[in-house]
Structure 1
Amino acid sequence: MKLKLSILAKATLGLAAEKFPELAAQRVGSHPDMDQTWASFEPVARTLVDSFYLSLDLADHDQLAAAMDRQPAEVRGIAYEGAGMGLMLRDRLFPWRSDLSRFSYGPGLPYRCLIHIGAGLVLARLPGDPMKFIDAQDPLMRYFVADGYGFFDGFFRWADAVTRHFRPRQLTGYAANAYDQGVGRSLWFSCGAHVGRIRDTLSGFPASRQPDLWSGVGLACAYAAGVLDRDAIQELVDAAGPWAAQMATGVAVAAVFRAQSGLSAAPHTDLASEVLWWADARQVAARTAALLPMIAASPAAPDAGTYPRWREAVALQWQQSIVAGTGPGRNRS
């Protein structure tokens, strides 16, 4: 009988969702609120890991997409992220198949951003120069790979990525910024979605890295659940301070992820969108997506420059709404 790849992966990688809250407690210590928060994170972690192992064994892409689509709407995007992990590993084992590309531009097309984030989670574990793979991707997708790479380091290599503020020297250009966005996203989980712990952890990083780190926090806040408290999200915005526009950008990207998949926004995506943008997630996604064609058509943003300039435009839109008095504020009536 043929040995399943998932069995080999479980034996060599030891990736298990039940270990995640233990890892988080090792990072920031044991706190009374962590158990409750991680109970809300558990479906996310379990879906990611289960989908990873399933994608290693299910070679038929249509069948894989059907399995992902059977997941509850709230975690379906996470399932596709896990599939991206498995397909990335399959490509390293069987490079002639090109599973990641064929799936993300085939049955997985609506979730291609999340699939590439999943690929980055595995890229962080693989030998060689990560930029060789990142630069070979679509100019928009490559930075989601770097984001996934950063998430892996932030969560699983905490001592280096967070305590020592180490960032891989191989990551060049905007890939280094996207890496920090992934590290920031990981802190949402490691810190148990606790505003004070997130703020204190981020305060030790150099100021030059803060915007991207806070952007990652914003994306996780809006996409990954954990908080359904308007005051807590507002407190997080206040903690971001001068980098609130970048946090708002992360929230907007999360709204786009929801819209790309054709799913109704989750309650926490809507709530984060309302607090940061004074609009529901669908409205935020529409505004944010409308900026991309204009940026892509600009001669000032060829290829690799499109994604960072798009994010800059989103942040500027948020800042202009504040100046105009049409954006979020504590005294809205």
Structure 2
Amino acid sequence: MTTLGAVRRRLFGIPSAEAVFSRPGFAPEAWERFAPVATSLMEGYHAALEDPGLPALASRLDAVEPSLQGFAYEGAGMGLAALDAVAPWRRRLDAFVAGPGARHVYPVYVGAGLAYARLRRTPESRLAHLDPLLGWVTADGYGFHEAFFKRRRYVERHAVPTRLTEYGRRFFDQGVGRALWFSSGGVVDRVTGLVAGFRPERHADLWSGVGLASAYGGGVDEAALRSVLAQARAFRPQLARGAATAAWGRRIAGNPAAHTDLACRVFCEASAAEAADVVEEAARDLPVISVEPRYEIWRRRIEDGFAARRPAGRPR
């Protein structure tokens, strides 16, 4: 590590992932089940701080176990976005997404959203600099951070982020849903109880985050996933979309995981490969110019794609 890298880590680093998971409100199962996820993210974050040079950074990230590489790239996105805030003329995040981070663009942008939250910057103010379709994912990372690190305000008191637009708040809630899954250690009754405490109009996006987190991060068996589905059956389209998005992200990154396939079979009634196909098909011919955000059109098409696959008369 260079002297400058050591300084950056001292200024921006996070001392202990386990300490974060030990704070009030986190289930004991959270660290037991998701320690590899947390440590991989921290590895990517600190790698970016210590040496943001793209070849060296990519080498460190690719050394992480394949099923966990997405979390390492998420951490790198967080680190690079933080460095760009200090030296915006460097545009490290853009170069990373255009280069070695291209296959992991979804988690990289989630990580950037984490950084924006830590730096008190709204993700929507950065959209013009990001991919026109996937840039919205930064608001998901923003929501995850706030629910994870400001739990009392955003989970217990159900605060609404006033600095985001109405549409940005939907992605914020997806990030909150992901945070609920990880901080609850995938304990289904705990997750369900927390989601129930939010206003009903927020539930769909919260459950989409649960679907995404449970499919991408795993942590539980088939029985637990079927329990999620049983308790949130009204939101099966959102659970399916979240799981399918995880499968699509793993496809383009080339790091499939058995737990992602399992979640797709439960929530989507399809394999991970079939679910990723639905996501890819939904992205075809999206309008270049639209009053409605292109990402929202994509999300709705994904849900409709799974609805079309279900035989008539089958419950949603």
Please indicate the TM-score interval, normalised by the length of the shorter structure: over 0.9
- Whether contact under 8 Å (1:6, 1:53) holds in the other structure is no
Q: CA deviation at 1:13?
A: 5.4
Q: 2:266 aligns with which of 269, 275, 292?
A: 275
Task: Specify every segment of 5 or more residues in structure 1 that has no aligned partner in the other structure, as ranges.
Answer: 329-333
Deviations 1:111-169 (A, max 9, x none): 01110100000100113444211344222222110000000011111111111111211
Q: Look up the equivalent residue of 1:247 and give its one-letter code.
A: L
In the alignment, the residues of structure 2 paired with residue 95 and residue 11 of structure 1 have an alpha-carbon distance, to the nearest angstrom, of 17
- Whether contact under 8 Å (2:8, 2:49) holds in the other structure is no
Aligned to 1:331: none
In the alignment, the residues of structure 1 paired with residue 6 and residue 235 of structure 2 have an alpha-carbon distance, to the nearest angstrom, of 41
Q: Quick one: structure 1 residues 249 and 145, their matched pair in 2 at CA, closer, same or farther if it must change by over 3 Å?
A: same
Deviations 1:207-248 (A, max 9, x none): 111110000000000001211x21211110111131121111
Q: Does 2:293 match 1:305?
A: yes
Aligned to 1:260: 252
RMSD: 2.2
Aligned to 1:113: 106
3-state DSSP of counterpart to 2:49: helix
In the alignment, the residues of structure 2 paired with residue 121 and residue 46 of structure 1 have an alpha-carbon distance, to the nearest angstrom, of 16
Aligned to 2:213: 220
Q: Look up the equivalent residue of 1:48 and give its one-letter code.
A: L
Q: 2:198 aligns with which of 190, 198, 205?
A: 205
Q: How does 1:15-94 map to 2 (within 5 A)?
A: 15-23=15-23, 26-28=24-26, 34-35=28-29, 38-94=31-87
In the alignment, the residues of structure 1 paired with residue 161 and residue 281 of structure 2 have an alpha-carbon distance, to the nearest angstrom, of 33
In the alignment, the residues of structure 2 paired with residue 136 and residue 304 of structure 1 have an alpha-carbon distance, to the nearest angstrom, of 19
Q: Look up the equivalent residue of 1:308 and give its one-letter code.
A: E
Structure-2-length-normalised TM-score: 0.93
- Whether contact under 8 Å (1:277, 1:327) holds in the other structure is no
In the alignment, the residues of structure 1 paired with residue 15 and residue 112 of structure 2 have an alpha-carbon distance, to the nearest angstrom, of 15
Aligned to 2:95: 102
In the alignment, the residues of structure 2 paired with residue 74 and residue 184 of structure 1 have an alpha-carbon distance, to the nearest angstrom, of 21
Residue correspondences, number? 316
3-state DSSP of counterpart to 2:88: coil
* Identity of matched residues, %: 36
Q: Quick one: structure 1 residues 53 and 42, their matched pair in 2 at CA, closer, same or farther if it must change by over 3 Å?
A: same
- Whether contact under 8 Å (2:18, 2:31) holds in the other structure is no
Q: Quick one: structure 1 residues 255 and 5, their matched pair in 2 at CA, closer, same or farther if it must change by over 3 Å?
A: same
In the alignment, the residues of structure 2 paired with residue 290 and residue 7 of structure 1 have an alpha-carbon distance, to the nearest angstrom, of 46
- Whether contact under 8 Å (1:321, 1:327) holds in the other structure is no
Q: Look up the equivalent residue of 2:156 and give its one-letter code.
A: T
Q: 1:235 aligns with which of 220, 224, 227?
A: 227
Deviations 1:255-295 (A, max 9, x none): 111001022x211101001112222212211221111013x
3-state DSSP of counterpart to 1:107: coil
In the alignment, the residues of structure 1 paired with residue 200 and residue 189 of structure 2 have an alpha-carbon distance, to the nearest angstrom, of 18
3-state DSSP of counterpart to 1:324: coil
Aligned to 2:157: 164
3-state DSSP of counterpart to 1:96: helix
